[in-house]
Amino acid sequence: MLTQYDEKGKIFTEVVSKIPVRATIQTIKHQIRGMVHVRREERIKDELNRGEGFIALTDATVFNEDGTVMRNAPFLAVKREHIIWVLPEPVEEGGE
């Protein structure tokens, strides 16, 4: 990991701190549930609007059109242009 300091001692790194948010994503053919990782002080919408071609999910479950589980994956990259809608799950009381 590359770490740099300015003249006042402020630390700069290339690490981007993100918070996992459980969400359901509807694509053209599948529904996916998993954790979308969002930068601190930002929204899922901000993550979706980034110029990158894919959005990363962890602990993902992919469902067929009939609602059966098609696949589980520790990591899944979803092509942004295939996303129709995203529904974040509400944060429970006492949660992060």
- Beta-strand runs (E) in 40-68: 54-63
**Cβ(34)–Cβ(22) below 8 Å:** yes
**CATH dotted code for 17-88:** 2.30.30.100
In the chain, alpha helices (H)? 44-48
**Cβ(86)–Cβ(19) below 8 Å:** no
pTM of the model: 0.75
In the prediction, which pLDDT does 5 show?
Answer: 64
User: Which mean pLDDT values do the consecutive 10-residue runs of the chain (96 residues) have?
Assistant: 64 76 95 93 88 93 95 96 93 57
In the prediction, which pLDDT does 58 show?
Answer: 96
Residue type, 20: P
- Both tokens of 60, joined, read 């993902």
Question: Measured between alpha carbons, how far apart are the two ends of the chain, in Å?
Answer: 27
